[in-house]
Amino acid sequence: MPTFRYTAMTTTGRRIAGEIAGATEQAVLSELEAKSLLPVRVAPIVRRQILVGRVSTRRLGQSYVELSELVTAGVPLLRALRLLGGRKSGGRLSVAFKELSEAIESGEPVAEAMGKRPDIFSPIHVAMVKAGERGGFLDQVFARLGQFVLGQAELKSKIVGSLVYPSVLVFFGVIVLSVVFGFFVPRFKPMFARLDDLPAVTEVVFALSAAITQYGPITALVVGGLVFGGWRALKEPAVRRWVAIVKTRAPVVGPVVRNLAVSRFCRMLGTMLGNGVPMIAAMEISKDAAGNMLLEEAIVKATESVRQGEPLATPLGDSGLIADDVLEMIAVGEQANNLDDVLVRVAETIDKRADRLFTAAIRLVEPLLLLMVAGVVGLVAVSLLLPIMQLSDVR
């Protein structure tokens, strides 16, 4: 039973405060009045269990699917939420479902209760559940939510898995170059002390070696300052927009970034429309999930156009971020009045296209990383061989 903190006045005019348990706020007020106390303020005490870690996207999606299956099988929603909230291994997610069941038991709508836990349930999920409550098809909403969240988790795991090998190459490349500049290069500096004029490339290599060895702390401070300055600069809208333009228009990375952003927008908008969320509200929420500032600006313009009665495909096409075949499918979906299904199919098509582009980009990045490490090592070798040749001429 929830606990409330109250402030009240006694019959003698003395102000007192305390805590009292009650099913609802009205029940607490009635109990205080029965004790001849005049309530001044009554507020629920929120006690949340402090748990370390974050909620897994895949586990959240599986919980939505299980919730849909339980409700479809005839289990009352409150009992289904209690089952999910009673799991000891669920961590923060179990606590969230337990809080949901308590809020619903006290008469609170499901969507409103979910909105109080934005760390678990995103605005997209809340909007879809709200539409499902109004339309009376919560089981279908939870089923689609489960598929949607699991699809997001699958895409994320695929991207992370593809980046493992390049990350390993970068890690070992840094180690190799650190050994070369930190231990190998400094051993040659005393050997070249009697040379009056060293080649420019040798001077550069020795300067880099000194920055790592002799001036390591200063170099670390400078690099840390640059990183901090870049992080602060990224908070400025103008800088963020410039970075978005660079990422979106880049030769190899650009197509991948554009396709992933368009896929997220189409899948979320289609899923929300299919669950009864109004068009304007669905577009405003899907905008924040696109993850690309340029596409977000295009969606804002498209939202205003749709608000004025214009079709969706035309303003989206003006951005130049969406392929012509995708725009054509969206236009056909609008005309056939099945835009929700079309958008989901479009997202699946774009995901396959993005997967091919991403795989090709990763295959191109891997040899480029190897060539970069080999090029730096080769440059160091040349910078050391040139002075050695000068020493042989002096002798």
R_g (Cα) of the chain, nearest Å: 30
Residue 142, judged by CB atoms within 10 A of its CB (0-12, 13-18, 19+), counts as: buried
* Residue 53 pLDDT exceeds 60: no
pLDDT confidence tier of residue 221, bands split at 50, 70 and 90: very high
Long-range contacts of 118-124 (CB under 8 A, 24+ apart): 119/55, 119/92, 120/55, 120/60, 120/92, 120/93, 120/96, 121/96, 122/289, 123/285, 123/288, 124/268, 124/272, 124/285, 124/286, 124/289
pTM of the model: 0.62
Mean pLDDT of 117-125: 80
Per DSSP, what are the bridge partners of residue 41?
A: 7
d(CA 20, CA 27): 10
Q: Which two tokens stand for residue 293?
A: 């500032």
User: For residues 10-37, b (16+ Cβ closer than 10 Å) or e, as one string?
Assistant: eeeeeeeeeebebeebebbbebbeeeeb
Mean pLDDT of 280-298: 79
What region does 216 belong to: left with phi over 0, alpha with psi -120 to 50, or beta?
Answer: alpha
Measuring CA to CA, which residue among 256, 274, 266, 255 is closest to residue 340? Answer: 274
* DSSP symbol at 185: G
* Residue 46 pLDDT exceeds 80: no
Hey, is 122 helix, strand or coil? coil
d(CA 222, CA 373): 23
Q: Cα 96 from chain centroid?
A: 20
Percent of the chain surpassing pLDDT 90:
2
pLDDT digits (tens, 9 = 90+) for 325-341: 888 888 888 888 888 88
C-alpha torsion sign, points 275, 279, 281, 285: positive
d(CA 217, CA 198): 27
pLDDT confidence tier of residue 23, bands split at 50, 70 and 90: low
pLDDT of residue 90: 66
pLDDT of residue 174: 86
- H or E segment and range at residue 42: strand 38-44
Measuring CA to CA, which residue among 149, 166, 160, 145 is closest to residue 71? Answer: 145
pLDDT of residue 395: 53
- H or E segment and range at residue 9: strand 3-9
Count other Cβ atoms within 10 Å, centred on residue 299.
Answer: 23
Mean pLDDT of 185-204: 81
Long-range contacts of 344-350 (CB under 8 A, 24+ apart): 344/266, 344/267, 344/270, 344/271, 344/274, 346/266, 346/270, 347/263, 347/264, 347/266, 347/267, 347/270, 350/259, 350/262, 350/263, 350/266, 350/326
pLDDT digits (tens, 9 = 90+) for 5-17: 888 888 877 788 8
pLDDT digits (tens, 9 = 90+) for 337-389: 888 888 888 888 888 888 888 888 888 887 888 888 888 888 888 888 888 87
pLDDT digits (tens, 9 = 90+) for 134-191: 767 778 788 878 887 887 788 778 778 878 888 888 888 888 888 888 888 888 888 7
Helices (H) then strands (E): counts for the chain = 17, 3
pLDDT of residue 206: 87
pLDDT of residue 153: 83
d(CA 22, CA 143): 35
pLDDT of residue 393: 61
d(CA 11, CA 7): 14
pLDDT confidence tier of residue 54, bands split at 50, 70 and 90: low
Maximal C-alpha separation, the chain: 109
* Residue 91 pLDDT exceeds 50: yes
Amino acid at position 11, single letter: T
Residue 300, judged by CB atoms within 10 A of its CB (0-12, 13-18, 19+), counts as: middle
